[in-house]
């Protein structure tokens, strides 16, 4: 069914003391790809969640083909033809990918669910858009990138007419992103309406016709994408100019030298049920990048290092000094916390207690410090004062400051809480997985600068990211992870983006240097 238009008229949504959406009016025509751009917490996801029935507006109304409609819940939104890929996944963890994709629209035969046709249709969609997914795998065992694919397939499977993509490409590989963007263009040609939320300006330039920019809940501008540069778009979004260049230069001689005489962490022939004989070193004052296509052992490696998984053989040696090395593989997950800061991939599952306040999450790993105690009790005032400092330093935008529940923040601001908490622990080794997922341009630049600052302080960073540009621009060395083993080491200054992609896909290989 073709559509004429969708219009959101004077939409207002209030959470506590904050207007997440402030009198927003937006109109999109059929066959149009309309981008929505804004900082973390600008109100983009809230606005689209109203359109998809997840929230109800406090004021305003929605029109479809010039007729006012009432959307009470996501099921009703689906009946009206609305479908959304959520930034914070709406998946049932104990269901398989297939069960999540077909939930609510299952085929039945004689009163029993029949998945034959559903499986056939989903496999057809996966083949067209080059998606790889195990339909029988439970979501609780999936990486964030795999969960992202399930969310996208949920949308495509339902054949909706109004499609909302909220940060749908955040953790996809470049070939998957290209496939998804081509698919979105194809859907627009089929006269569907596409709303595309992303922080990646090059993606907006590649597919969108119009771009609406939001700031602090208000619609600031609607621009013609073909008549504006990425720099101008970012300036409208942030209200100031953004420097896109990552500056790793520091010190009097304008160089940071990796101290190759001292490795701070050494992984020696480590094996587990899921990892094959991995060995490498992390040197003091370096950012070591791990590049690989999702599902090639990144999560398994992180679990081994942090103690979430046990190694079968091999050693993880922390070199405190020349005379004292500590074998971390013999320590529990709690004991390893003394040596690592950890920014996890899944901020909801491993990063935050969502029902805790911002203050409690920021103090989660320091509440037992003497500085936060009054004799035998936690000093709440000291924790709140500490939290206020970090909220200001890391630009965490919370409605009621440190008292705000973490679950009520945007994804980007939730990520800032984790980054602030972990970096303020002042550990020698920082393990970070997808640190800028869902962050806007300004926040992404800030995180990159924070990591570089840690490097300048003689700390070491293990950076695992699916963003090839991030890996290339930040890393001092890059290890390629393929089929759950390290296949080679490359110099980011001497390798192109294309060549790195060939190593990651296993098309090209060589012995580690």
CATH number, domain with residue 487 = 3.40.50.300
Q: Is 165 exposed, middle or buried (0-12, 13-18, 19+ CB in 10 A)?
A: buried
Judge if 369 and 328 occupy the same domain: no
Assess whether 228 and 254 both reside in one domain: no
One domain, residues 280 and 369:
no
Which residues constitute the domain of residue 215?
A: 5-238
Q: Say which residue the tokens 């606005």 belong to.
A: 47
397 lies in the same domain as 262? no
Shared domain for 455 and 319, answered yes or no, is yes
Residue 306 near residue 350, CB atoms below 8 Å: no
* pTM confidence score: 0.77
Q: Structurally, how many domains does the chain consist of? A: 3
**Half-sphere exposure (Cβ direction) of 214: Cα atoms closer than 13 Å:** 30
The answer to whether residue 98 scores a pLDDT higher than 90 is yes
Domain boundary among 214, 238, 262: 238
Question: What band does 255 get if pLDDT is binned at 50, 70 and 90?
Answer: very low
Instruction: Give the SS3 label for residue 254.
Output: coil
- Stretch 186-196: mean pLDDT: 88
The residue from 366, 395, 426 where one domain ends is 426
How is 332-383 classified by DSSP, letter by letter?
-HHHHTTTEEEE-S-IIIII--TTSBHHHHHTTTTTTSGGGEETTEE-HHHH
Assess contact for 7 and 166: CB atoms under 8 A: no
The pLDDT value recorded for residue 509 is: 66
pLDDT of residue 254: 37
pLDDT at 170: 77
DSSP string, 196-224: EE-S-HHHHHHH-SEEEEEETTEEEEEEE
What was the pLDDT predicted at 130? 76
3-state secondary structure of 403: helix
Count of CB atoms within 10 A of residue 63's CB? 14
Write out the H or E segment, with its range, that includes residue 157.
Answer: helix 144-157
In the chain, how many H helices and how many E strands? 16, 24
93 token code pair: 């963890």
Task: Render the burial of 283-295: b for 16+ CB within 10 Å, e for the rest.
Answer: bbbbbbbbbbbbb
357-387 residue pLDDT tens: 999 999 998 888 888 888 888 899 999 999 9
Question: Taking residues 413-419, what's their average pLDDT?
Answer: 92
pLDDT at 235 over 70: yes
pLDDT tens column, 273-327: 878 889 999 999 999 999 988 888 888 899 889 888 887 888 899 986 656 788 8
pLDDT band at 2 (very low <50, low <70, confident <90, very high): very low
pLDDT, tens digit (0-9, with 9 covering 90-100), for 102-137: 988 888 888 788 888 999 999 998 887 778 889 999
193 and 276 in a common domain: no
pLDDT at res. 425: 92
442: its two tokens: 């300004």
The residue among 392, 426, 460 that closes a domain is: 426
């Amino acid at each position: 069914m073709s559509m004429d238009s969708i219009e959101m008229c004077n939409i207002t949504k209030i959470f506590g003391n904050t207007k997440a959406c402030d009198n927003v009016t937006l109109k999109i025509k059929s066959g149009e790809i309309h981008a929505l751009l804004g900082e973390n917490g600008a109100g983009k996801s809230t606005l689209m969640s109203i359109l998809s029935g997840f929230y109800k507006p406090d004021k305003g109304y929605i029109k479809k083909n010039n007729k006012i409609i009432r959307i009470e819940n996501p099921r009703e939104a689906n009946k009206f033809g609305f479908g959304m890929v959520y930034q914070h996944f709406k998946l049932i963890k104990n269901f398989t990918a297939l069960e999540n994709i077909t939930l609510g629209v299952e085929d039945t035969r004689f009163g029993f669910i029949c998945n034959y046709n559903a499986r056939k249709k989903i496999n057809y969609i996966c083949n067209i858009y080059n998606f790889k997914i195990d339909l029988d795998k439970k979501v609780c065992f999936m990486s964030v990138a795999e969960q992202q694919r399930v969310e996208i397939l949920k949308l495509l499977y339902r054949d909706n007419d109004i499609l909302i993509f909220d940060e749908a490409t955040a953790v996809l590989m470049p070939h998957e992103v290209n496939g998804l963007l081509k698919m979105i263009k194809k859907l627009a040609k089929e006269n569907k309406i596409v709303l595309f939320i992303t922080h990646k300006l090059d993606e907006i330039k590649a597919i969108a016709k119009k771009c609406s920019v939001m700031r602090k809940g208000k619609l600031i501008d609607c621009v013609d994408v073909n008549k504006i540069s990425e720099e101008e778009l970012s300036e409208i979004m942030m209200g100031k100019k953004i420097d896109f260049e990552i500056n790793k230069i520091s010190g009097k001689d304008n160089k940071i030298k990796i101290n190759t005489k001292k490795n701070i962490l050494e992984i020696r022939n480590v094996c587990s049920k899921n990892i094959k004989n991995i060995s490498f070193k992390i040197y003091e004052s370096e950012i070591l990048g791990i590049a690989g296509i999702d599902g090639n052992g990144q999560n398994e490696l992180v679990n081994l290092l942090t103690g979430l998984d046990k190694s079968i053989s091999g050693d993880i040696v922390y070199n405190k000094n020349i005379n004292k090395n500590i074998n971390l593989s013999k320590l529990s997950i709690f004991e390893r916390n003394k040596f690592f800061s950890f920014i996890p991939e899944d901020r909801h599952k491993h990063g935050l207690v969502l029902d805790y306040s911002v203050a409690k999450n920021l103090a989660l790993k320091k509440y037992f410090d003497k500085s936060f105690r009054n004799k035998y009790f936690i000093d709440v005032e000291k924790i709140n004062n500490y939290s206020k400092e970090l909220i200001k330093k890391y630009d965490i935008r919370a409605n009621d400051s440190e008292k705000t529940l973490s679950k009520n923040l945007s994804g980007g601001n939730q990520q800032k809480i984790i980054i602030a908490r972990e970096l303020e622990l002042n550990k020698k080794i920082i393990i970070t997985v997808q640190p800028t997922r869902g962050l806007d341009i300004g926040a992404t630049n800030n995180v990159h600068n924070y990591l570089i600052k840690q490097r300048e302080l003689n700390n070491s960073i293990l950076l695992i990211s699916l963003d090839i540009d991030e890996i290339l621009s930040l890393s001092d060395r890059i290890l390629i992870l393929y089929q759950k083993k390290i296949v080679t080491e490359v110099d980011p200054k001497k390798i192109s983006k294309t060549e790195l992609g060939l190593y990651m896909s296993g098309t090209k290989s060589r012995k580690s240097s």
